Amino acid sequence: MWTPTHFPAAMRSLNPSTRAKAIEIANRLLEQGALDKQRIVALSVDEARRLARLVQSEPITKGWQPHV
């Protein structure tokens, strides 16, 4: 399990909120145990970056709620 203070070097360049999401995704994939750690890290970083781009591109309007 990775934490905000103990995470793979590949996540070092991510901003803190994107890194937190990557850690969350990676830990879920680790629990499933279907992939090796290198693949888990790559997938979690890619997915966290994708989610960060989505959040940045969504217009913020009155009544906007984050996707949960």
**pLDDT value, residue 68:** 46
pLDDT in tens, 9-60: 999 999 999 999 999 999 999 999 878 999 999 999 999 999 999 888 766 5
Predicted local confidence at residue 54, as pLDDT: 87
Residue 61 has pLDDT above 80, yes or no: no
Higher pLDDT pick, 68 / 32 = 32
The angle at the Cα of 45, spanning 18 to 55, to the nearest 5 degrees, equals 40
Asked whether 28 and 42 are in contact (CB, 8 A), the reply is no
